[in-house]
Structure 1
């Protein structure tokens, strides 16, 4: 199923469409390595844990203790991987605003 979603997402982008990915807590491993990171816009809810591997795995690999905040959305955003951090209740409005700005859909306030 995941491979089909990734394939469709790539076709969607190749056709000139906009792909917005929303990372919810947690967004880890294969999901982050595949579909979550290929969006034209990547957003997350606040305090979401985002990373390829869990902290314990990384600590065992690099041999040092990591800060628990390293994988929080706010740190990932500061490092340029996310375009925005949006409260869950505001995600729909955020997507509508961006869609309207890009003229690919969205809703009007008529």
Structure 2
């Protein structure tokens, strides 16, 4: 994983900077992706377990978002030859590395809520 200190100086807006930010946004684009990734930080889970972790997500949307995350290399889907067929989802190395991004987002969100709304969760 590239460290910010290893990158060239971004004192000016560069194409590399814009592309990297857009790549990040494309991976988490949507209401549910960050929640799904967060659920999987705690280990492999079956579809129903993820669904229980995320209130208000419908089955169709969870399926779509899991496929998108799999296509983006964040989640891996493992199918087991059992009856009924067993399916588990887990984070890839890239998915686990995304925790740093979510931790910063959490920190910023809590501070922003406190400053703008005037209360904490």
Q: TM-score, normalised by structure 1?
A: 0.29
User: Which structure shows the higher helix fraction?
Assistant: 2
Q: TM-score, normalised by structure 2?
A: 0.28
Report the structure number with the largest CA radius of gyration. 2
